[in-house]
């Protein structure tokens, strides 16, 4: 209690919110140059340390930022400044990094080229794996806790190798079609290519200052990176991650937009991007389109999140501020249906299966504890079920009659529901580690085992028998987030994300 009297919020409460003067701002800039710029870059776009711009800090509350500046960050090179700086100075630095600079920083194709690092030129590493394992049943597990990833054997559930990644990976890593390489994206725009056979990074490039996600073309030749900062899409040559083209995302009038997400659409031989600030969906064919010309499809609303039907003929998109989802016929190039989807459906985490002879889509909801089931022939919601709280990830597999969905938010975050795909009812609720978030399931190649994350620094991947729901094994890990099975991802299983 006594200690808290000395801390910033009380100081603010007693004196009132400080009025920033030009001198204060200049002093804070000076502090930043002296203590922070060396690692985070003079323009805050990041260097050895991560970028410190509002877009890059969206997952970190200001209170936590103040804590990190004062006391450092474990398992990184971020030192503690509480001995060097006053509480007020630390608070002013936190204010600075959550304020957009007067001029948005640029990141040009030359910056991208300059950032490229080639550790092993193409063809210089052996083609034979350095270990014995079924290469189709490997997993990459991302461990957010200390910015690492584990290569896991999906038959024995033994880790093969653990390695450091870039800071704050986000979104699913994407495999090359043969499963030998995996591509990671970090929120700071770093794209890394990792050789799973040799357990080495082969190339890295910084494609942007703030990235949403990346997708890899069906033929494996290109990667595309969708960005918030700058407002663009960057196409890379997957051989060494050289930039091939930067596509500025703007409409005909020159209004620019952030990219919500970009995915590959295998049967269409194209990439498809949803935009956050323009009412357009973009399709970029990569076959017979050397200039990567964009096909623009007008839609009724901005799209924050979207999903495809298994044929990739329809896109189902949702805006976080609307009660409706939109169905876009990708061949006709127009919106054809509206889906009644209230709350904040997490379509990106939706999955599909056949129910009573019809394809259905099931999606959790980030705001409400419910799962919606949508008939993909009529685009009507055929059922909603209540869950113990809003969920983030839903997963299944062709060989299991069950779908697993987490309760990511709220007091029941330690629960995981299992839904029978034949009845659309919850048949079991697991609580693998009381008090700790249970999240994100991915199946083995044959669908016999389900791997679940205990999303905690003192966490684990828990392996379950997917039929009996019995726990088989607990593999200790540091805040494991997503896990990605080579076969399920490269064959575009209907039970997982693509």
User: If binding means CB under 6 A, how many residues of this protein chain bind ligand DHE?
Assistant: 15
Question: How many Cβ atoms are within 10 Å of 253's Cβ, its own excluded?
Answer: 6
CB of 438 to ligand DHE, least distance (A): 13
What one-character DSSP code corresponds to residue 440? Answer: E
Quick one: which of 281, 237, 234, 246 has its CA closest to 260? 281
The residue behind tokens 């051989």 is 239
Which of 172, 189, 325, 480 binds ligand DHE (CB under 6 A)? It is: 172
Quick one: which of 253, 258, 277 has its CA closest to 104? 258
> How many Cα atoms are found within 13 Å in the side-chain-facing hemisphere of 368?
14
**Does 61 participate in binding ligand DHE (rule CB under 6 A)?**
no
Which of 209, 261, 438, 461 binds ligand DHE (CB under 6 A)? It is: 261
Rounded to whole angstroms, the Cα distance separating 356 from 15 reads 66
Is there a contact between 459 and 479 (Cβ–Cβ < 8 Å)? yes
Rounded to whole angstroms, the Cα distance separating 360 from 182 reads 30
Handedness of CA 80, 82, 84, 89 (dihedral sign): positive
Q: Which is nearer to ligand DHE, 28 or 192 (CB)?
A: 192
**Per-state percent for the chain, helix, strand, coil, to nearest 5:** 15, 40, 45
**Does 59 participate in binding ligand DHE (rule CB under 6 A)?**
yes
Which of 7, 42, 58, 378 binds ligand DHE (CB under 6 A)? It is: 58
CA 354 to chain centre: 27
**Does 350 participate in binding ligand DHE (rule CB under 6 A)?**
no
CB of 225 to ligand DHE, least distance (A): 10
Identify which range of 70-78, 168-176, 280-288, 426-434 contacts ligand DHE by CB under 6 A.
168-176
Tell me the residue nearest to ligand DHE as measured from the CB. 172
Q: Which is nearer to ligand DHE, 105 or 348 (CB)?
A: 348
**Does 497 participate in binding ligand DHE (rule CB under 6 A)?**
yes
Q: Which of residues 412-471 bind ligand DHE (CB under 6 A)?
A: 440
Rounded to whole angstroms, the Cα distance separating 26 from 339 reads 51
Identify which range of 33-41, 105-113, 155-163, 167-175 contacts ligand DHE by CB under 6 A.
167-175
What binding mask, one character per residue, do residues 184-213 give for ligand DHE by CB under 6 A, x or -?
----------------------------xx
CB of 60 to ligand DHE, least distance (A): 10
CB of 436 to ligand DHE, least distance (A): 14
Which of 92, 210, 217, 481 binds ligand DHE (CB under 6 A)? It is: 481
**Does 64 participate in binding ligand DHE (rule CB under 6 A)?**
no
Whole-angstrom Cα Rg for the chain: 23
Rounded to whole angstroms, the Cα distance separating 81 from 65 reads 12
Handedness of CA 326, 254, 216, 292 (dihedral sign): positive
CB of 168 to ligand DHE, least distance (A): 7
Identify which range of 62-70, 74-82, 165-173, 195-203 contacts ligand DHE by CB under 6 A.
165-173
Q: Which is nearer to ligand DHE, 144 or 460 (CB)?
A: 144
Quick one: which of 188, 19, 13, 43 has its CA closest to 103? 43
What one-character DSSP code corresponds to residue 20? Answer: P
Q: Applying CB under 6 A, which residues contact ligand DHE?
A: 58-59, 144, 170-172, 212-213, 261, 348, 392, 440, 481-482, 497
């Amino acid at each position: 209690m006594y200690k808290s009297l000395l801390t910033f919020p009380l100081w603010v409460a007693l004196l009132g919110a400080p009025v920033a003067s030009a001198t204060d701002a200049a002093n804070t800039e000076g502090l930043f140059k002296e203590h922070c710029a060396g690692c985070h870059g003079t323009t805050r776009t990041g260097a050895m340390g991560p970028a410190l711009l509002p877009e890059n800090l969206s997952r970190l509350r200001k209170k936590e930022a103040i804590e990190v500046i004062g006391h450092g960050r474990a398992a990184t090179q971020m030192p503690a400044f509480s001995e060097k700086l006053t509480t007020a100075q630390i608070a002013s630095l936190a204010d600075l990094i959550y304020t957009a600079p007067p001029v948005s920083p640029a990141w040009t194709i030359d910056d991208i080229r300059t950032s490229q690092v080639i550790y092993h030129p193409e063809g210089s590493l052996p083609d034979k794996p350095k270990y014995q394992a079924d290469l189709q049943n490997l997993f990459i597990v991302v461990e957010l806790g200390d910015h690492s990833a584990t290569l896991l054997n999906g038959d024995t559930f033994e880790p093969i190798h653990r390695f450091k990644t870039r800071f704050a990976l986000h979104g699913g890593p994407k495999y090359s079609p043969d499963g030998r390489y995996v591509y990671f994206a970090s929120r700071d725009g770093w794209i890394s290519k990792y050789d799973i056979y040799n357990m080495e990074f082969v190339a890295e490039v910084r494609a942007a200052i703030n990235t949403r996600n990346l997708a890899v073309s069906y033929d494996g030749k290109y990667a595309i990176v969708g960005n918030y900062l700058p407002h663009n899409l960057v196409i890379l040559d997957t051989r060494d991650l050289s930039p091939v083209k930067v596509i500025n995302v703007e409409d005909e009038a020159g209004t620019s937009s952030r990219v919500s997400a970009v995915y590959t659409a295998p049967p269409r031989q194209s990439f498809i991007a949803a935009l956050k600030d323009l009412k357009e969906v973009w399709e970029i064919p990569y076959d017979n389109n050397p200039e990567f010309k964009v096909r623009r499809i007008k839609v009724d609303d901005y799209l924050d999140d979207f999903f495809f039907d298994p044929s990739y003929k329809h896109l189902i998109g949702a805006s976080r501020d609307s009660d409706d989802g939109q169905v876009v016929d990708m061949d006709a190039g127009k919106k054809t249906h509206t889906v009644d989807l209230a709350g904040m459906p997490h379509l990106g985490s939706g999955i599909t299966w056949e129910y009573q002879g019809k394809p259905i889509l099931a999606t959790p909801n980030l705001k409400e504890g419910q799962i919606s089931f949508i008939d993909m022939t009529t685009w009507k919601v055929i059922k909603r079920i209540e869950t113990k709280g809003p969920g983030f990830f839903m997963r299944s597999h062709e060989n299991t009659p069950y779908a697993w969905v987490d309760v990511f938010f709220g007091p029941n975050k330690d629960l995981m529901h299992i839904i029978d795909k034949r009845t659309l009812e919850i048949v079991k609720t697991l609580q693998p580690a009381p008090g700790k978030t249970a999240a994100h399931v991915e199946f083995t190649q044959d669908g016999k085992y389900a791997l679940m994350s205990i999303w905690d620094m003192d966490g684990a991947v828990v392996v379950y028998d997917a039929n009996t729901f019995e726990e088989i094994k607990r593999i200790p890990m540091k805040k494991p987030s997503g896990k990605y099975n080579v076969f399920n991802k490269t064959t575009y299983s209907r039970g997982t994300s693509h």
